[in-house]
Amino acid sequence: MTFIADNWMLISIAVTSGLLLLWPSLQGFAAPGLSVNDAVFKMNREKAVVIDVSSSEEFALGHIGSSHNLPTDQLEIQLPQVVKHKTTPLLLVCATGQRAQKAALNAKKLGYEQVFCLQGGLKAWRDANMPTEKS
């Protein structure tokens, strides 16, 4: 007991650092992030369906070719209509990757088994000089 009282600051630092290391797991990240190269592989070889969860306005400014625009607030309603088979790989994309991670949780709840997110989002896609389309 005296050890704890004498070293309370050291113990609190150790507990805090442990919690910070576990934060991504505790936050519930649902999908692994894919690099641009891995995403292209998934799209070409495994026929992953690209779902852009950006707003309609952002989607119109530029998106990955053949992607479907399902904003996060419409994802749960429209995803089962766009991707009927729950085993089809999904690649979720947004501007930076943050909304895609949140959308991945919803896709997992809907029962989709293979859900991935593009690391860095559309920004990383453009930085890699990959083509985009405007609508």
Q: How high is the pLDDT of residue 19?
A: 80
C-beta atoms surrounding 53 within 10 Å: 30
Contacts 24+ apart (CB under 8 A), 83-87: 83/49, 83/51, 83/112, 86/110, 86/111, 86/112, 86/113, 87/113, 87/114
Which has more pLDDT, 26 or 65? 65
What are the boundaries of each domain within the chain? 1-29, 31-127
Residue 27: which pLDDT band, with cuts at 50, 70 and 90? low
Q: How high is the pLDDT of residue 24?
A: 63
User: Check: CATH 3.40.50.300 for 31-127?
Assistant: no
Burial class (CB in 10 A: 0-12, 13-18, 19+), 62: middle
Residue 5: which pLDDT band, with cuts at 50, 70 and 90? confident
Give residue-wise pLDDT tens across range 59-110: 999 999 999 999 999 999 999 999 999 999 999 999 998 899 989 999 999 9
